[in-house]
Amino acid sequence: MSEPKAPTPAPGDTYKGWLFKWTNYIKGYQRRWFVLSNGLLSYYRTQAEMGHTCRGTINLATANIAVEDSCNFVISNGGTQTYHLKASSEVERQRWITALELAKAKAFRMQAESDDSGDDSTPPAAGQGAGSRNSEVQSTLRTLGSKVEDLSTCNDLIAKHGSALQRSLSELEGVRLGGETSEKIRQVTERATLFRITSNAMINACRDFLALAQAHSKRWQKALQAEREQRVRLEETLEQLAKQHNHLERAFRGATVLPPSQSNPAIDSKGPVPGKGDVSDEDEENEFFDACEDVQEFITVPADPKYHRRSGSNVSGISSELGMDDGTTSLDEQSLASNPDSPQSQEVVPVRKRRSRIPDKPNYSLNLWSIMKNCIGKELSKIPMPVNFNEPLSMLQRLSEDLEYYELLDRGAKCQSSLEQMCYVAAFTVSSYSTTVHRTGKPFNPLLGETFELDRVQESGYRSLCEQVSHHPPAAAHHAISERGWTLRQEIALASKFRGKYLSIMPLGSIHCIFEKSNNHYTWKKVTTTVHNIIVGKLWIDQSGEIDVVNHRTGDRCHLKFAPYSYFSRDVARKVTGVVTDKDGKAHYVLSGTWDEKMECSRVMQSSRGGENGADGRQKTVYQTLKAKELWRKTPLPEGAENMYYFSTLALTLNEPEEGVAPTDSRRRPDQRLMEQGRWEEANAEKQRLEEKQRITRREREREANRAANPAEEAEEVEIASEPSETTYKSGHHDNYKSMWFEQQVDPMTGEPTHIYRGGYWEAKEQGNWDSCPDIF
């Protein structure tokens, strides 16, 4: 039997040819030119149309291929697209089936790799020798792996056709000589031909694999060995440099008598000392910036005594909220009056007793550098980390901790002056960082759709809701409202980079605070958080950068500067300074303090240019101020906090189980609960299960989105030449997720796209109706 001259399909090749496609009952089967390439089967009316008019395309990764009879077969993607095709002969049909099955297997693998790529990290930058060699090796390994998969597919096909051939031979043995003998012989011959075609494809795949293996074997063995040796050298060099750096710093500190104002971040910590030896350990092991001394932008001096004696409205008329009526109030008295934690300021007695302890943190040793050394330059959110480096709270709960010192906004709501109100908002901005000073544990990355509610209406007059609204990139929306006249909302996405010796976390997005009475609308952004001593020493955290708090109604502005820590600076550690100005740029208040202890406010009576020159050669501004008044002071950590992840009083209550919360609430997250209970091995296993479940859910959403974007093909031949129909397949890391409680809008103040609370959560809680919540745990 002669074999047609159409090419035998080889794995990975583009396959083309004529097939008959069913169109409708009037025209029946029509001849069309089909092209199989990159996992897509496309067809055209003629070969000439390939350059400009595609009549239809089907993705084989999700397609089903079924054989109807000797020449007919059907390709369907689940209902939206179905092609009924017919080949000119059974041999030709089998060629197409073989090529389609090979292409489907390869397309399925490519789609799976694309789905998982969102959880992987980007490779090193081009141009780096080791990075390029590693990329080349990985590319070769992927190609070889693909060839192995092709061999496996061909093996399955050979087994299938071999069984069919064996059945035909068995039937032939039992046939009597007669009229049906020739028909059986013809079938055996055709099946033997099909078997030979598939075997040829298998042989071609083996030949390609062997050729690649022989060509690259020695090359990638050498490249792998060189990569391994260079990696070892790099690790040894980094560790040696880190130890030398710390040794030089210790030697410098031992040989230099420092002024009392110079301080170590651990020694200067205003919270309770965790343990007897902790201070000396940090002093020996801490790693500090190489930065030079920070240059202050302005100078404050005491105001002329005449301002203290004046009784005019410009001094005495200042709101008693800040205690600015005169300069005679002592600092201790003012601190007592403004400290929210003093007995005199406690106006509300909690109606529910909250927990004050959690199980102590287990002492499991694990080398952070052994994991992080493979992650230099990568996104923190894409690094798979065991729970050993976490704390038993999610990022949504950490975001809710911004409300730790909500009383500052309560006082701001009572202010008559927008400038005084600005002081309280600025102090609230700084206070949100006070909980981070010892918190070196990484919060759990929230699952997409995870929520966290913080209902403190009875105790504190506010309630708060957070939801994870995006996974790639990770972003959380937060909305809090108080019965005392203020609303706080924000959407924060985290960008993070590991640089070897330190880890930088850059929050993206704006925070909004609106006061109902005055309609003042404030916005600001967060500063950069840096975790030091990743390689050697004890981890410590610093906050650095600048914040502009803007009142969009009045034009008032407060510029805050978080000074990065420097061992050689004469200033106190973790220093924050700021100036409150009106819309004309005139200074009214100077703020100063530290982000881990307190913030103070001084009334500016007069300003002038003079004093020392700044770093850029310009003269500094000199502010004459009244005596400083305390706006905020950090609450001491609870007893034993060093054994409870350095949690504050509020943080200890955040993961406390509560009845009636949504099924998606962080309190219900099993891996986080297991970690809190000290069962870390079980927590790690549960964390992997939840992450895999999230990946499967994301792939299903993407498949549904692809199906929605490619509706069923309409009746054939109703085509307009000037408007060709073409299907495009796009892949990306968008989540295709619609938030339950927030909706995306363009913020009218900042012009940024942001998620704003749409309402309905607290009503659903009151009714106990959570039917619409997704199953994420």
Q: Which H or E element spans position 207?
A: helix 181-255
β-bridge partners, 54: none
How far CA 123 is from CA of 120, 141, 377, 723, 766, in Å, comes to 9, 16, 9, 41, 49
CA-CA distance, 183 to 163, in Å (whole number)?
19
For residue 146, name the pLDDT band (cuts at 50, 70, 90).
Answer: confident
Tell me the residue length of the chain: 777
Is pLDDT at 337 greater than 50 in this prediction?
no
Percent of the chain clearing pLDDT 90 (strictly above): 35
pLDDT (0 to 100) of residue 613: 55
| Displacement of CA 170 from its chain's centroid (Å) | 62
**For the segment 392-420, what is each residue's pLDDT rounded down to a tens digit?**
999 999 999 999 999 999 999 999 999 99
Nearest CA among 346, 572, 382 for reference residue 459: 346
pLDDT (0 to 100) of residue 733: 38
Q: Are 250 and 182 spatial neighbours (Cβ–Cβ below 8 Å)?
A: no
> Of 142-156, 169-183, 398-412, 437-451, where does the model show the most confidence?
398-412
Nearest CA among 580, 585, 586 for reference residue 601: 580
Is pLDDT at 366 greater than 80 in this prediction?
no
Per mean pLDDT, which range of 530-539, 568-577, 671-680, 687-696 is the poorest?
530-539
**For the segment 233-262, what is each residue's pLDDT rounded down to a tens digit?**
787 777 777 777 777 776 776 654 444 444
pLDDT (0 to 100) of residue 290: 41
SS3 assignment for 559-606: EEEECCCCCCCCCCCCEEEEEEECCCCCEEEEEEEECCCEEEEEEEEE
- Over residues 53-76, the mean pLDDT reads 85
- Over residues 589-604, the mean pLDDT reads 95
Provide the sign of the torsion angle of the four alpha carbons 615, 621, 624, 626, taken in this order: negative
pLDDT (0 to 100) of residue 616: 52
Percent of the chain clearing pLDDT 70 (strictly above): 73
CA-CA distance, 667 to 658, in Å (whole number)?
8
pLDDT (0 to 100) of residue 281: 38
Per mean pLDDT, which range of 93-107, 166-180, 307-321 is the poorest?
307-321
Is pLDDT at 715 greater than 50 in this prediction?
no
For residue 135, name the pLDDT band (cuts at 50, 70, 90).
Answer: low
Nearest CA among 551, 496, 514, 439 for reference residue 757: 514
pLDDT (0 to 100) of residue 711: 61
| Displacement of CA 333 from its chain's centroid (Å) | 46
Is pLDDT at 302 greater than 90 in this prediction?
no
> Of 140-149, 199-208, 368-377, where does the model show the most confidence?
199-208
Question: Long-range contacts: 119-127, Cβ < 8 Å, 24+?
Answer: 119/382, 119/384, 119/691, 119/695, 120/382, 121/375, 121/378, 121/379, 121/382, 121/383, 122/377, 122/378, 122/379, 124/377, 125/377
For residue 433, name the pLDDT band (cuts at 50, 70, 90).
Answer: very high
CA-CA distance, 752 to 735, in Å (whole number)?
19
Is pLDDT at 760 greater than 90 in this prediction?
yes
Is pLDDT at 460 greater than 80 in this prediction?
yes
Q: Angle formed by the axes of helices 90-116 and 181-255, to 10°?
A: 20
Is pLDDT at 727 greater than 60 in this prediction?
no
pLDDT (0 to 100) of residue 333: 38
Is pLDDT at 551 greater than 60 in this prediction?
yes
Share of the chain residues as helix, strand and coil, in percent rounded to the nearest 5: 40, 25, 40
How far CA 643 is from CA of 299, 389, 444, 639, in Å, comes to 42, 15, 19, 9
CA dihedral 30→35→40→41, nearest 10 degrees, is 20
CA-CA distance, 269 to 594, in Å (whole number)?
10
In one letter, which amino acid is 668? R
pLDDT (0 to 100) of residue 322: 58
Tokens of 685: 């296993």
Between strands 298-302 and 619-625, the pairing is parallel
| Displacement of CA 83 from its chain's centroid (Å) | 41
CA-CA distance, 545 to 561, in Å (whole number)?
6
- Over residues 192-218, the mean pLDDT reads 77
Angle at 503 between CA 498 and CA 504, to 5 degrees: 100
Q: Angle formed by the axes of helices 90-116 and 680-709, to 10°?
A: 130
DSSP per-residue string spanning 152-203: HHHHHHHHHHHHHHHHHHHHHHTPPSSTTHHHHHHHHHHHHHHHHHHHHHHH
Is pLDDT at 76 greater than 90 in this prediction?
no
Q: Where does 256-356 have alpha helices with state H?
A: 278-285, 305-309, 313-316, 331-338
pLDDT (0 to 100) of residue 511: 96
CA-CA distance, 421 to 412, in Å (whole number)?
5
CA dihedral 387→392→396→402, nearest 10 degrees, is -130
For residue 31, name the pLDDT band (cuts at 50, 70, 90).
Answer: very high
Between 287 and 756, residue with greater pLDDT: 756
Tokens of 130: 């080791």
> Of 232-246, 292-306, 382-396, 653-667, where does the model show the most confidence?
653-667
Q: How many other CB atoms are there within 10 angstroms of residue 499's CB atom? A: 11
Is pLDDT at 123 greater than 60 in this prediction?
no
Q: Which H or E element spans position 610?
A: strand 598-613
pLDDT (0 to 100) of residue 582: 94
Query: In whole numbers, what is the pLDDT of the chain averaged over residues?
Result: 77
Is pLDDT at 754 greater than 60 in this prediction?
yes
Per mean pLDDT, which range of 200-204, 609-613, 644-648, 741-745 is the poorest?
609-613
26 half-sphere exposure, CB direction, 13 A CA radius: 4
Q: What is the DSSP letter of 304?
A: P
For residue 657, name the pLDDT band (cuts at 50, 70, 90).
Answer: very high
Per mean pLDDT, which range of 284-293, 533-542, 655-664 is the poorest?
284-293
Q: Are 561 and 574 spatial neighbours (Cβ–Cβ below 8 Å)?
A: no
pLDDT (0 to 100) of residue 320: 46
pLDDT (0 to 100) of residue 427: 97
**For the segment 530-544, what is each residue's pLDDT rounded down to a tens digit?**
988 877 778 889 999
